[in-house]
């Protein structure tokens, strides 16, 4: 870890993480900034490291307009960024009601950041999710019974609509970002939503994680984050296997897709189920539950003449030696 005399260890840790992320970039970058400790620590590190890497960096502050005075908070965050010599601008978004406030705000923020990145011809958007955020994501996925792909949590580097999404701080604890802000005299905004117990993530953060740390000992967050890393690796390997397999066993059918029964049956259950979910997701844009996936798999492994299975947005039926998945 970088540590020069007089350089605060928390600042050094975050700058190193950012430097390593920026080393993979060759074009302009955007930083998502809220004014909270995590994003402020990230913005300060980018402001320091980007010029050294020869990169143009700007900050984008998303005003969700969900709280009284949100415009003032957003303007203040932009002013702090400007004080770091990081150009910044505010984007106000409309948050729809569908899907709940957390999901709707996340969707609106994502769309606004991608639009801003395209407008700036940016190669990447940097987000300030920390190791603690990753651990909470994995824990919530476990509670919901999500599959391995979901339990893989957030990726440190992925592409979305042609824009790279980088999360340099996924290996950094939340307490480090606070320490870095304090060391640099950065004014941190405390989001009231982070204390609002209506939100599941707040309850996990305030109640569940402290109990796990007390009962199981320190290091739970790190262990959950390591689990997410391992599951992402597994998911990537499965994705490669599925891409190779699908070319040989899938063909277009009327209003849908046909999958070879013998070929599906020859695959182990884990791969068979992923192929079924992948076909439905890619062709019809729908996600199957495990129960739905198993019902479709029974058309392959335990077919006794049962009829079509209604699924979200589509229907699966056994036709000879094929399972045909077609639009409703």
For 145, residues 6+ apart whose C-beta sits below 8 A from its C-beta are 290
State the Cα–Cα distance between residues 71 and 56, nearest whole angstrom: 26
Q: Considering the domain 9-225 in this protein, what is its CATH number?
A: 3.40.50.620
State the Cα–Cα distance between residues 154 and 148, nearest whole angstrom: 12
For 222, residues 6+ apart whose C-beta sits below 8 A from its C-beta are 131, 135
- The β-bridge relationship of strands 88-92 and 250-253 is unpaired
State the Cα–Cα distance between residues 202 and 33, nearest whole angstrom: 20
Single pTM value for the model = 0.82
The answer to whether 137 touches 228, Cβ cutoff 8 Å, is yes
- The β-bridge relationship of strands 29-33 and 57-63 is parallel
pLDDT per residue as tens digits for the range 98-135: 556 677 878 888 899 999 999 999 999 999 999 999 99
Could you state, in order of their start, the residue ranges of all structural domains in the chain? 9-225, 254-327
Angle separating helix axes 174-184 and 131-143, nearest 10 degrees: 150
pLDDT per residue as tens digits for the range 54-106: 999 999 999 887 777 889 999 999 999 999 999 999 998 877 765 566 778 78
- What is the pLDDT at residue 101? 63
- List the beta strands (DSSP E) in 10-146: 29-33, 57-63, 88-92, 124-126
User: Of 139, 203, 135, whose CA–CA distance to 174 is shortest?
Assistant: 135
Q: Which residues pair with 70 in a beta bridge?
A: none
- What is the pLDDT at residue 188? 95
What's the chain's length in residues? Answer: 328
State the Cα–Cα distance between residues 74 and 271, nearest whole angstrom: 46
Q: Where are the alpha helices (DSSP H) in the chain?
A: 9-22, 37-52, 70-83, 101-119, 131-143, 148-151, 174-184, 200-203, 209-216, 220-249, 261-266, 269-284, 290-301
Q: What is the largest CA-CA distance in the chain?
A: 75
User: For residue 95, what is the DSSP state?
Assistant: P
Regions in the chain scoring below 50 on pLDDT: 1
- What is the pLDDT at residue 241? 82
The radius of gyration computed from the CA coordinates of the chain, to the nearest angstrom, equals 23
Residue 24 to residues 44, 233, 303, Cα–Cα distance (Å):
19, 20, 50
The answer to whether 180 touches 8, Cβ cutoff 8 Å, is yes
Q: Which residues pair with 325 in a beta bridge?
A: 257, 316
The answer to whether 114 touches 83, Cβ cutoff 8 Å, is no
- What is the pLDDT at residue 97? 63
Instruction: Fold for 254-327, please state it.
Output: 3.30.465
State the Cα–Cα distance between residues 221 and 132, nearest whole angstrom: 6
- What is the pLDDT at residue 4? 57
Q: Give 244-262 as a DSSP string.
A: HHHHHHEEEETTEEEEEHH
The answer to whether 154 touches 239, Cβ cutoff 8 Å, is no
Instruction: Please tell me if the domain spanning 9-225 has the same topology as the one spanning 254-327.
Output: no
State the Cα–Cα distance between residues 43 and 57, nearest whole angstrom: 9
- What is the pLDDT at residue 103? 73
């Amino acid at each position: 870890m970088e540590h020069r005399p007089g350089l605060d260890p928390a600042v050094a840790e975050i700058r190193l993480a950012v430097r390593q992320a920026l080393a993979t970039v060759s074009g302009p970058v955007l930083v998502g900034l809220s004014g909270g400790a995590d994003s402020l620590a990230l913005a300060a590190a980018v402001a320091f490291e980007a010029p050294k890497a020869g990169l143009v960096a700007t900050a984008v502050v998303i005003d969700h307009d969900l709280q009284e005075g949100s415009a003032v908070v957003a303007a203040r965050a932009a002013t702090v960024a400007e004080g770091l010599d990081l150009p910044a601008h505010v984007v106000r978004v409309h948050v729809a009601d569908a899907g709940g406030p957390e999901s709707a705000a996340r969707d609106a923020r994502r769309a606004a950041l991608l639009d801003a990145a395209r407008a700036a011809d940016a190669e990447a958007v940097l987000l300030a999710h920390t190791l603690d955020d990753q651990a909470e994501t994995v824990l919530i996925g476990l509670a919901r019974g999500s599959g391995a792909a979901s339990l893989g949590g957030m990726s440190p580097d992925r592409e979305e609509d042609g824009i790279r999404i980088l999360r340099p701080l996924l290996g950094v604890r939340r307490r480090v970002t606070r320490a870095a802000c304090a060391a640099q005299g950065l004014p941190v905004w405390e989001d009231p939503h982070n204390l609002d117990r209506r939100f599941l993530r707040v309850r996990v953060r305030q109640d569940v994680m402290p109990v796990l740390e007390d009962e199981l000992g320190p290091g739970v967050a790190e262990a959950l984050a390591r689990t997410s890393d391992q599951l992402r690796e597994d998911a990537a390997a499965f994705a490669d296997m599925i891409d190779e397999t699908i070319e040989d066993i899938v063909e277009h059918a009327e209003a849908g897709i046909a999958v070879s029964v013998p070929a599906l049956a020859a695959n182990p259950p884990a791969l068979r189920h992923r192929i079924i979910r992948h076909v439905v997701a890619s062709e019809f844009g729908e996600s199957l539950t495990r129960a739905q996936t198993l019902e479709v798999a029974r058309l392959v492994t335990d077919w006794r003449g049962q009829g079509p299975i209604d699924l979200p947005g589509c229907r699966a039926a056994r036709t000879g030696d094929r399972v045909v998945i077609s639009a409703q």
